[in-house]
Structure 1
Amino acid sequence: MIGSFNPRCCWLLIATLTLAIGCREKQADEPVSNSPEVPRTGESNGTQVVPTLNTPLTDWSNVLWCATFQVAWNRAGDDALGEPLQVEHAEEIASRLNQSEVSAADLPPGSFYAAAGLTDQSIVQTIHAEMKKQFPSVSPPTFEQADGLVAYCYMDAQVKFTTPFEECTLEFTDGDGEKNRVEAFELHHGHDWELSSKQSKQLKLLFQVPEDVTSSTLAEFAIDLTADQEENQLLVAVVPRSETLQETIEHVYEQIAANQDQAFAFEGDEVLRVPNVVQSVVHEFSELEGSDKLILDKVHPPGHFISKAVQSIKFRLDKGGAAIVSEAELEATPAEAAPGGIEYEYVVDRPFLLIMKRRAAKHPYFVAWIDNSEVLELQKLNE
């Protein structure tokens, strides 16, 4: 659990996400729960966490989003309240959450558990029993302080690159023009042609936009890093950032649709370099917190407010794939209580977008805009 519960807490919303997607071999036996303490975004101005894909973006920072908070929010309204969750003095963010089309159908099937209900109807006991059956090695929250509504979502999905890539470094220029040498991964370019062929079969160029007709420099491009997999897609796109993550995603898919004739599978002699991404963060959605953020629903009388809205995200991308662990918590407290012929190089050396989704799903389940090197793995000095 994130933090501690208020003994006066009457309402609790929890969302937990665990993905282990192609971690480095040396990390395979290291449980994510043993990771170091993660910083709050209030202490890290270079990264922000957003609750919805259409949340307006305010600066050049990295932006992280994952779907478990949305799924838990949906279950609270659909399964427990029978109506969308409304929050006074936080109408805008509650409206975005209620209008979002992201749902449990976008999560990998068989990889998650979600439930919501009232504590006096044994929802906590139900969650514990059903989680023990579906995920016997996972200990769900105890909900010891919950007294009212509980909504819970847990997801554990695994995907790996079919063939790991090679380690390398590259110079990354962030959205503010600062340059840093960072750890990365690339296609093999040695004498092992079989390895190079296996790696390249995973890759598909989705579109490319040169800076001009004679330039070998690309203004935009997008590559499917898991093109050989039917269920999962990990897409990296070098594109301009829009006003929201949703608009940035839409731009990527519009470019893919408009340039279908450009799509091609890699053959092994192309240059591809992608930075490692390593981020651990805890974020408080302060726009949902405070004694004035009253919950309006049929279950509780007026006078309960959201005292805590927190989400943690731990994410890694490297030569073996991607890994993410996320936990979110939302609590409410009674108001009286305390509160072509040209050779191109596909080098992701500037701000880029990451999308993780089921190929058959309408929406992704994790999106990250990487704008600065705070979440990248800086090059190790020679020892």
Structure 2
Amino acid sequence: MHPSSIAIDSKLPRVGTTIFTVMSKLAADCGAINLSQGFPDFQADPALFDATWRAMRDGRNQYPPMAGVPELRSAIADKVAALYGADYDADSEITVTAGATQAIFTAIAAFVRSGDEVIVFEPVYDSYVPAIETVGGQPVYAALAFPDYRPDWEQVRALLSPRTRMIIINTPHNPTGSLLEADDLMELAALTRDTDIVVLADEVYEHIVFDAAHHQSVASHPELAARSIVVSSFGKTYHITGWKIGYVLAASALMAEFRKVHQFNVFTVNTPCQVGVAEYMRDASRHLGLAAFYEHKREFFREQLRASRFELLTCRGTYFQLASYRAISDRPDREFAHWLTRAAGVAVIPVSVFYRDGRDDRVVRFCFAKQEATLAAAGERLRAL
């Protein structure tokens, strides 16, 4: 094909290939153990596959309703009511999405206009800011301070302006593994009271919290729920990240606006997988047991690194473990991540990529959503450094 002579004024001039793609490709090229990108290396429950296959055989293979199949929306409503005491109407307040990333982009596109400001917390998951900038919004950065990654609500208050349209929160937090507490939600409610600010709550790791902590969902806080889009993900919960199925909760007026965009950028999500998930999730133990399942993996991985020179940071949720490597190297974290992949055969994510200015605390992120054999093999290599 001939080179194009079309002048392109990119909406995202600073955006290239995501670090997750870069590090996963480097891991594959080097034959390294991939603890970078956040996906399991083990299979989901065969019962989920059986339920989906039954839906296919039963003819559930055509377009479902735009908002999602009724049985899945009903199952979501029941789960949210049981966990958070929140009453969401399955018809008008729940929408099934093509994963959480689509849900987040759609929410931003539905509510953020050109020139609007959106407050995000750094280190910030990499899809938020490009979505804001694509629709002409302006990201405004609040800090989660190293090493505990707690929000400073007085700083957030100082960042508010008449142009603030949205605040994006993420709990449990990727990449840091920190959690928002009940008093954080109270602070957020007070900050947004009597405003038109929409809260976008990314809660995809809602079932992966440790040490007897409880996930503080925005859905459980009536005042915040009334102004919030809450996002979750079956991919994280049922070990099926490649299925790309998530959902959003929102009050009906907000959901009506969300669906106006959703129907044109996705329309709907594949039918048999929705039906399969709806059947599978009726057994609540399958999501209620997730915290213990991943807490065991966290402890196993932390034990692998106990005799290493990595300094482990606190991990209260998600399936990510942050670690300082200052005792091993003074390389910048991106350089260290590439070196570690090539020299030690373990791929990680450098945390500086989650900061707009590349702030580098010499910390990397490991994914422990892996088989114990994988984690043990990685541990052996990391202890040798």
For this structure pair, what is the TM-score category when the shorter chain's length is used for normalisation? under 0.3
Select the structure of larger CA radius of gyration.
1
The structure carrying a bigger helix percent of its residues is: 2
The structure carrying a bigger strand percent of its residues is: 1
TM-score relative to the length of structure 2: 0.26
TM-score relative to the length of structure 1: 0.26
